[in-house]
Amino acid sequence: MKAVILAGGLGKRLRPLTDSIPKPLIEVGGKPIILWQIEWLRSYGVDEFVVCVGYLKEKIINYLGDGSEHGVRIGYVVERRPLGTGGAIKNAEAFLRNERGFFVVNGDVITTIDPRELTDLGPEHVGAIALVPLRSPYGVVEFDDDLTIRSFVEKPLLRDYWINAGVYYFKPDIFRYLPAEGDIERTAFPHLARAGLLRAVKYEGAFWRSIDTVKDLEEVSRLLGEGGVVSKRT
């Protein structure tokens, strides 16, 4: 089974950390984001990776090499200029067009979801998107009918709302819908959704965080702790 890691972004919101380190190599809980991802996916049987690189690509390639040190095989597809998430996947078509299906993960996500649940597609689907409950960015105040405050809940999950987890499974048919340049979230996904070609898979109870800001980095590092392992066994 193959997985694509989208690792070519500039990581602007993590500057100045990303001035000299590509975002996927930023350490979270004592380990680079991209290594968390490889270990997580490897624990579910993924043994071959295509890493889409651009910004500071040499540092990612030098760190991961051919993947043998981590028990997997890794190849690279280079973006000569930023292509966006959709363009980056399209750029890797030569490595993926003959697969029955493949996973794609954004290069800033750390999670324990079981990606195998994404592979159960109907004949009408070209792919599936992992969804996780929206986490409130603020603490929530709970009160009763007479406005007496009863509790404070820090950043609860809002289970009536679901967000794109940045983890996907696609059939090769997806390449017909991908742009040469642009983000998949703004180009292909709206069209595919209107046509009923995407399946949603809801995940509750799994660990999921996106590392977008220094605050995220600090919070997730605290949650994971030093030396932890994200896998199906955690």
Active site residue 155: yes
How far apart CA 53 and CA 58 sit, in angstroms, is 9
Using DSSP, how many helices (H) and how many strands (E) does the chain show? Answer: 6, 13
Angstrom distance (rounded) from CA 79 to CA 57: 9
Distance of CA 19 to CAs 11, 15, 206, 215, Å? 9, 6, 32, 17
Q: For strand 48-53 and strand 140-143, is the pairing parallel, antiparallel, or unpaired? A: unpaired
Catalytic residue among 155, 202, 215, 232: 155
Q: Are 33 and 6 in contact (CB under 8 A)?
A: no
Smallest Cα–Cα separation from 51: which of 12, 14, 102, 17?
102
Give bridge partners of residue 225 from the DSSP assignment: none
- Catalytic residues, which ones? 155
